[in-house]
Structures are given as C-alpha cells and as structure tokens.
Chains A and B, each alone.
Chain A
C-alpha cells in the first residue's frame, strides 16, 4: 500500500518514501511518500482556492456531505492511496503502526464518526446559533436582527498532527464545515485517520481541492506554520512554549488534566473511584484529557491504594485481543526511558509507588515496550512527579489542602472538581489555570462535543468585526 502526497486533490508520488512497519513483527504495512517543506510553501500560494471551492457549495449541503463522510469513514470501503480500505483494514493498519490495541482504534473511530454525524448540532453550539451562511458571505443579520460580520482569518487551517492518539482528530473535523480548507502533516506513525478521513470526505462530495496532506520531514511542519495564517500543532511542553502568544498558532500539548476532590466530598471517595479510574486509564491513558493527577486534602494514601488495586493488575495483551487496554511504545527504548524517568521521580521524599505490589510496570518486547498502569502517592504537591504526565495510564495522587490546591495545580486542560461547596466552586470557575471544567463526577475524558475545547475553533478561524452599511431607503 502506498500513501501519496495529496496536493489539494492532486496525488503526488515522491521519489522518497518511508516504510511503516508493524510494531510487533517489523513487517511493512505501508509506504508513505515523503516531501520537504518547499512543496508546501509553493502549494500554499494557491490556498485561497481551497476556500473558494468550499464556498461554492451551500453550507448546509457541506454539513450533509460531512455526515455522509462520517458514515463512510466508520462503515464504508474507501480508496485510500492506491488501495481499497475497509474499516477492519483501517483498524488493523492503525493498530499495527501506532501500537494501540484494535479495540481502542475502533473506539476512536466511533468518536470521529460521532463528531461528523453530529456536525449540525456542534456547529450550532460552537457558533451560538449563528446562521452558517453568515460565515459564507462574511456578514448577515443575526436572529436578533443585528448585523454581524465574521471574517475568515485564513483560507486554510494548517495542522501538524500527532501519532499518539487518533482521538485528537475530532478537533479539526468541524473546519471544513466552517468553509476553511485543511492542510495537514500527518503523524509519522498515524497517517491513517487523516488519509481515511480525507478519502471519505472527497467520496462524500467535499471538493478535493479543499484538502492537502503532506507527510514529510520536520520542515514540512515549519512550512505549514509559516505559510498558513492559522495553524494547529500538537507537541510537547517545549512546543507549547515555543508558540505561546502566537495568535496564528493554536498549540495542543500535554493536558495535565486533573481530578480534585473537595473537602465536602472527599470522605465519600470510594463513590468516585470509577470516575477516577476511567479518567486515568481509558484510551490507554494516551490523551491530553486523561487525568494525570488526583488532588485531595485527606485519604490520599487510601485513594492511591484503591486506584492501584483496580489498575495495577492490568496486563499487556496482544493488540487484537478485545480485552487489550494498553498501547505499546513503538519507538525502541522509549518505554524503558520513560520508566527510568519515573523511577528517578519515585526517589523524591514523600513519594511512594502504590502499584509496586502488582508486579513490574515495564514490559519489554523484541521491538517495542509497554508500561503497565502506575499510581504514585505524593505527600505534598512539591515533588516533580506530582506534575508529570506520561503516555500511558499514570496518575499521582497528591495530598494538598483545598485552600492551596488551585495555586498548586498549574495548567490543567480538563479539571473534574467533585464538590458541592459554592465558595470552592466559585474559585474553580475563576481559576485561569483550568481550561475545561467539569463540576461533579464526570470523567475528564468524557467530552461534551457541544462545548469548545481549548478555545472555540470559530473564534480561532474567524474574526468578529464591525460592518456597517447605509440604511435602506
């Protein structure tokens, strides 16, 4: 199988190709054409055509086509590269190169399909009921009769995509429905979702010239960021720092998502164990929305022991086992290096390893490695490991007074705060460290798609500005 570069609808076979191999066997799974940044820079000079092609179609029709695309993506056989690909093929291929169990690949597929099939409701919620034709024409009358204008800030959204979790693709799925094209650099191990999604969209009638895919070297990412006036990049904390304050770049880095048990609820902690364990371990703990810390003022050792009792025994299973819950670290040595880092963190004063009684956490394979769920207890928020986030089910249970907790948690993508205390709730609502806030026992991983995630994509792609016209008459 070969995945060519997709230059706004024109397939391009590079002379240079990367071979993706099965993480367990090393057998080739696909070849992916690889290009450099210049080709992106050149194509982006014609990016306006992507938006023009979308605007030529009625916005409601676009939404209907995206819903069809969602169905094709999840259930149909579509042509991806030079090959017909069924949903089962897709799941096996994605699992083979990312190390994710097939069951988790299927779950992510359903998540993506849900977003596409619910696109009308999602757009309505994100735009606060705006008539979609206003985004197409640039101006119009709101339902209150007030003239509003929304100006597209870029004809395309640039995307530098990750390989770790296919779930993140839900973030960009609404973009086409907003009349903005897509320029993507797929993750090197996970080109599958962008390619299959693009193929499904085109088959459903989305103009091929609205979508571009450039697998390639790091300078492809740099060219996308330099050439697209609006881009989304997924990366490490360093990447987040690098683009902080750049209005044209939305950075998605580590989530450092957390659960806080308020003083009023913490004595009932066993009631919330399901919520905590789901937040930590679902999707193999790979997402930025997986909880990496639980904060409480008391019972923390008992909480850590109880989470460890639930998650600690989880074993590595073959990727096609329906019960498999753990993804592999496919880069040789990565699991071991991560575990060594954790072992270093465990040596700090006040830190204990709650999953130690459940056997070795590091499992090394011939070509890859796994880390079994790991729970640590921190007697205070000070140790570095209290602020750590890793690409597997890992959680620090941190003892910290409710008074201090909001000063200690640091950046938090999703915070589930289990409290009924109005004063603490008010402080949580005001905390600028927290992006998404769940008030009550909602897993951090349970997203309401009708709510914005890390900023509203419409606010990122469009500028709401004044537009006046002389009164009729």
Chain B
C-alpha cells in the first residue's frame, strides 16, 4: 500500500509485529513516487506506450507525462474498468517498447462469457523471483522439487510456480485443474461431481508425492491443501511425513481460523506461507502468521510494482484508518502493465507497515460484501 501522505486516524490496538520505522516508510514512499513518474513516461510516450493507453490519454483532461508527479496524482485518472480487459484485440495492451518480445496472455474469470486478459512478457517471472526472496530456505530448500496443485490452463499460476521452482533450482510437477469447470459444478449443484473432481486431483497429487521424486515444496490452495492433508491422514501419514517442508498457498479463504486449524491439525510441522494475488496485481507476500497475532494474515503488495490500498466503500479515493475496513484498490505499475486505481472484488482491513515491507498492508481479505452473495468460491 501507498502509505498515504496525509496520515489517517490511528486505531488504539497495539501491533504485535515489528512495525516499519517512519524513515523506512518515507523512503519507500519516495521510491514509489519516482517509480510512478517513470511508469507514466513509459506508458504514455508514443514510442513505448500501448495503443490502449495512448488512445485513452487523448481524452484525459490532464497530461500523464507532465501532470503526474507522484503516486497520489494517479487519482486524476478515472476509475479503471476491468471490463476493458475483456475481448480484443489483445495487442492493444502490448506496449510498443516491448512489441518485439515474446508475449503471453493470461486470463481471469471466464466461467461464463469472455474472460479478462492481461498480456505478460516477463512480469510473472519478476513477481515470483521477488517473492522467492521472501521464502525461507530452511523450509523451501534451494534445489528442492515442487508440486503445483492448483489452477492450470490459461492462468498465470502454473507457469509462475514452475518458474519459481526453476528459479530456486528445482523442477516442478503439475496437476491439471480447471477452475471454470469447478465453478460450473458448484453453480449446477453437482456436488458429487465436485467431490469426485477434487478427489481426482488429490489422487494425482498423492501419486506424484509417492513416486520418489523428492518433492519438498508445494503450491496449493487452502481447499486443496485440506483435502490433501485429510487424504494423507486416511492413508496413515501426514504432509510432514510425506517429506513436504514448505507450502506456499493462496486464496481469499485464508482466514485466521482456517490457518490456525491448518497449523494445529493439518500441517504436522510443515511451514506454510499464505499469499494474496491475482493476474492483474502479481503476488502479495504475508508477514509471518503467528498465534500471538491471532493468526492474522496480513499481505503486503510488491511495491512499487503494485500497490494495494484499503479505501472507503463510498469514496474510492479515501484510504480508511489503520484497522478500518474498506475495499481493495489496486494499482499496477510495471513496464508491461499499467492499471490505475482498480477496485478489486475483495475487501479487508488496513494494516500498518511491516519492517520487511515498509508500506501499508491488508488483512482479513474476503469477497467484497456487495458481491459476496454472487461470488462462487471453488475448491481451487
């Protein structure tokens, strides 16, 4: 999060984690402001910007190249509408400065209708390399092999995890999982099929884990992690005994209670780090999840490449006070993608800057209340 210039009212609750010092917060803010200006120079210059933004800028009442002097000036942009990401031509999102680079397209949504697309050249690698630096080698040993047990297909996750494993010197085994089919099963009420599909994925995962590949690290989702742990328990073993030392997991279902249950009853000593991420933002790491902090899961965006703010439900430009609840507002500032102030489908509580991430964080991430009733949370 940005760590906004005007300090909002503070909550009285004393944090149990190491809060970043004022100097580090100020420095991080300066880096963000400079990075924002650089990003404008790239995305809104004729020689480097993508067709979409160059065209869009013509209708703006300000000049992004000269009038954006820091992160706060991004508020001048009208709200980013994710509907713009649906449909083609996909090339309109490719910056001219990267036009000769190999491009991927990653999708989000798409259970029904046209999915949202984000072009990607190297961003996913950069994001996961930066995230790799936050993983403790003790639990995620260099050279260890990985299992990717999560959404595959046109999502970025499969390639990202594979790259993470390779970046750390390992090889990644994968299980196929189609989350769009999972959502359809839930919407149709085909719960037996849902259970069977989950079991099908878990069976494949266990087969790989038992095949002597020396897999020590797993990426999976909370739902699949619990299914895997229970399946192993039925076989008289545990995640720990199966040789897994580190689990990297992601999903909005990471609640403190779920994490406590996982730590106390599912993991058998295996280290788990929760993450929050999506195709548009990248990957937010969490500060250590500890009982003393009530198993609070607080995420910190990979600033300055992406910024998340917790904003008032009725005023998208007003950051809530620390401990206050609001909607997630995302800004992505990479050379490949510029997304200013996009209101995510999630809400949560604003967290103080952490020593390792000296900018605001967010905890208690869950589906945005006004959309929660229509959001289908799958097994993935």
Contact = CB atoms under 8 A, between A and B. Distances in A.
Given A15-B294, A15-B295, A226-B195, A42 B257 contact: no
Given A41-B226, A45-B230, A225 B258 contact: no
Nearest to A38: B226
Determine the interface band of chain B, counting residues with CB < 8 A from chain A: 10 to 19
A15 B257 contact: yes
B230 A36 contact: no
Contact of A38 (B191, B234, B256, B258): B258
A16 B253 CA distance: 13
Given A34-B257, A45-B233, 13 more contacts: A15-B255, A15-B295, A36-B255, A36-B258, A38-B266, A41-B226, A42-B230, A222-B191, A225-B191, A226-B191, A226-B195, A242-B189, A242-B191
A450 interface: no
The 5 closest A-B pairs by CB, nearest first: A38-B226, A15-B257, A16-B257, A15-B256, A242-B189
9 contacts: A15-B256, A15-B260, A15-B295, A16-B256, A36-B253, A41-B230, A45-B234, A226-B191, A242-B189
A326 B230 CA distance: 46
B181 interface: no
A35 B256 CA distance: 11
A32 to B, nearest CB: 13
Interface string B182-204: 00000001011001000000000
A34 B257 CA distance: 9
Interface in A213-256: 222, 225-226, 238, 242, 246
Interface of A: 14-16, 34-36, 38-39, 41-42, 45, 222, 225-226, 238, 242, 246
Contacts of A35: 257, 261
B265 interface: yes
A34 B255 CA distance: 11
Contacts of B255: 15-16, 36
Nearest to A12: B261
A222 B223 CA distance: 13
A36 B191 contact: no
Interface string B247-261: 000000101111011
A246 B234 CA distance: 25
A36 B225 CA distance: 13
A42 B256 contact: no
A14 B234 contact: no
A16 B258 CA distance: 9
Contacts of A16: 255-257
Nearest to B255: A16
Nearest to A226: B195
Interface string B223-254: 00010001001100000000000000000010
Contacts of A225: 191
Contacts of B295: 15
Interface string B149-182: 0000000000000000000000000000000000
Nearest to A36: B258
A205 B276 CA distance: 48
A1 B266 CA distance: 30
Contacts of B256: 15-16
A36 B379 CA distance: 13
B311 to A, nearest CB: 25
Contact of A42 (B195, B233, B260, B294): B233
A39 B230 contact: no
B160 to A, nearest CB: 26
A246 B253 CA distance: 30
A39 B229 CA distance: 11
> Which of A14, A15, A16, A238 has most chain B Cβ within 10 Å?
A15
Contacts of A39: 261, 265
> Which of A38, A42, A225, A238 has most chain B Cβ within 10 Å?
A38
Contacts of A222: 191
A11 to B, nearest CB: 15
A42 B229 CA distance: 9
A222 B192 CA distance: 10
A450 B158 CA distance: 60
A427 to B, nearest CB: 35
B257 A38 contact: no
Contacts of A14: 257
A273 to B, nearest CB: 42
